[in-house]
């Protein structure tokens, strides 16, 4: 490891390089920081911890462009953590629909209620980590950005920048311990929040996964990856495993301009969300397996969706009988207002497929 990251092995040189990196990056950030609605501009008072926390939870495995309209909608509807804590969970889940990774939304409500009971967010990384849904990254980000605490914030963008800056060549995920140590070495005691956001901005706009705009990079003179001529090969990623595939069927049951929707179990995939009835995604996907009621069915097409751990091919079966009578828990929802039901993306795709076939 010493020959790969000599800056960490030589304390005097490491301190000089760390100071240089942080100074260069913060100077660049002061001039080039992205304007994001959950941020405070450099030099302005720190942002509301609620907005920092909400944005960081939303941004987990999701792009800034995708998050922006959801964030705006949430803070308009629930402008404070107390307002979010008082919101019915089903309304929050519906507002989250389409953003994916729905366990985040369930934890969002749990965390808001706990914070409201506490009278506000704790300041330290260790205490923040105790809240529902806050892992190492989110706790560090909130501590640094909202409270000015020194915390080492490492997301995918920071991981990439640090791996290139120090030419860390061990494959992920094994390299993460080394990357974190290197990130710790360059994180300043002051302005740790701005430094973390600067690293994120650098990774998102200049030192990206597909490009390395080294001529524009404020750290190019300190970058080992650039000096060695191959920054785009870093970080080294282990080969991706092929995703397994599943099939299943969703059922469209309609009467008098309304469609039958169910609420999925509170835990598991898409937990707590409104959805079309389905067969559990393990049937043949032929349009009539494990149907929720008897009668004639017709094929309504197929939608495809990729989850983190598997790909799904979902056949849509449309009930062909008149005035179906269905038992069990659920609700009839006006077809013309289906977009307001807050269906997760998979079932929204299925609904659009059925309605498009009519057009």
Contact in structure between 199 and 153 (CB atoms under 8 Å): yes
Structural domains of the chain ordered from first start: 6-233 (1.10.340.30), 245-358 (3.90.79.10)
Question: pLDDT tens-digit profile of 298-334?
Answer: 999 999 999 988 999 999 999 988 888 888 889 999 9
Helix, strand, coil distribution of the chain in percent, nearest 5? 45, 10, 40
Q: pLDDT digit string (tens) for 24-54?
A: 999 999 999 999 999 999 999 999 999 999 9
328 torsion bin: left (phi>0), alpha (psi -120 to 50), beta (else): left
**What is the spatial distance between Cα 166 and Cα 21, in angstroms, rounded to a whole number?**
11
pLDDT for 240 equals: 84
Report pLDDT for 92.
Answer: 94
Mean pLDDT over the full length of the chain: 91
Distances in whole angstroms, Cα of residue 75 to Cα of each of 69, 141, 180: 10, 19, 32
Indicate whether 1 pLDDT > 60.
Answer: no
E strands, the chain, in order? 245-252, 254-255, 258-263, 274-275, 297-306, 311-319, 331-334
Residue with tokens 């959805």: 275
Q: What is the pTM of this model?
A: 0.83
Residues annotated as part of the active site: 56
Residue 231, pLDDT > 70, answer: yes
Residue 13 has pLDDT above 50, yes or no: no
Q: Are 316 and 249 in contact (CB under 8 A)?
A: yes
* 145 band by pLDDT with thresholds 50, 70 and 90: very high
Average pLDDT over residues 169-198: 96
Hey, is 8 helix, strand or coil? helix
pLDDT, position 282: 62
Handedness of CA 90, 92, 97, 100 (dihedral sign): negative
pLDDT at residue 286 tops 50: no
- 3-class SS at 158? helix
- Give the whole-angstrom CA distance, residue 67 versus residue 60: 10
**Quick one: pLDDT at residue 15?**
61
């Amino acid at each position: 490891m010493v020959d790969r990251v000599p800056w960490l092995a030589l304390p005097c040189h490491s301190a000089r390089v760390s100071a240089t990196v942080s100074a260069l990056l913060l100077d660049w950030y002061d001039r080039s920081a992205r304007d994001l609605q959950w941020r405070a501009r450099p030099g302005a008072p720190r942002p509301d911890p609620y907005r920092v926390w909400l944005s960081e939870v939303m941004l987990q495995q999701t792009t800034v462009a995708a998050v922006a309209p959801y964030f705006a909608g949430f803070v308009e509807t629930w402008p404070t953590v107390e307002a979010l804590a008082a919101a019915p969970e089903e309304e929050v889940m519906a507002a989250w629909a389409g953003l994916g990774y729905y366990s985040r939304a369930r934890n969002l409500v749990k965390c808001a209620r706990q914070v409201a009971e506490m009278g506000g967010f704790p300041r330290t990384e260790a205490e923040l980590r105790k809240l529902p849904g806050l892992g190492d990254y989110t706790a560090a980000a909130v501590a640094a950005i909202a409270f000015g605490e020194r915390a080492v914030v490492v997301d995918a963008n920071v991981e990439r920048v640090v791996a290139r800056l120090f030419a860390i060549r061990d494959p992920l995920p094994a390299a993460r311990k080394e990357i974190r140590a290197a990130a710790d070495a360059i994180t300043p005691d002051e302005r740790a929040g701005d430094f973390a956001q600067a690293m994120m901005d650098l990774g998102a706009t200049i030192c990206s996964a597909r490009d390395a705009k080294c001529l524009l990079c404020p750290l190019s003179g300190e970058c080992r990856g650039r000096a060695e001529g191959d920054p785009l090969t870093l970080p080294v990623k282990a080969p991706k495993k092929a995703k397994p595939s599943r099939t299943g069927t969703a059922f469209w049951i309609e009467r008098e301009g309304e469609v039958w929707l169910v609420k999925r179990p509170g835990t598991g995939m898409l937990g707590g969300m409104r959805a079309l009835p389905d067969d559990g995604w393990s049937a043949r996907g032929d349009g009539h397996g494990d149907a929720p009621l008897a009668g004639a069915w017709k094929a309504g097409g197929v939608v495809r969706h990729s989850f983190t751990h598997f790909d799904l091919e979902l056949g849509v079966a449309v009930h062909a009988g008149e005035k179906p009578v269905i038992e069990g828990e659920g609700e009839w929802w006006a077809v013309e207002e289906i977009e307001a039901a807050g269906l997760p993306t998979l079932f929204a795709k299925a609904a659009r497929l059925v309605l498009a076939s009519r057009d």
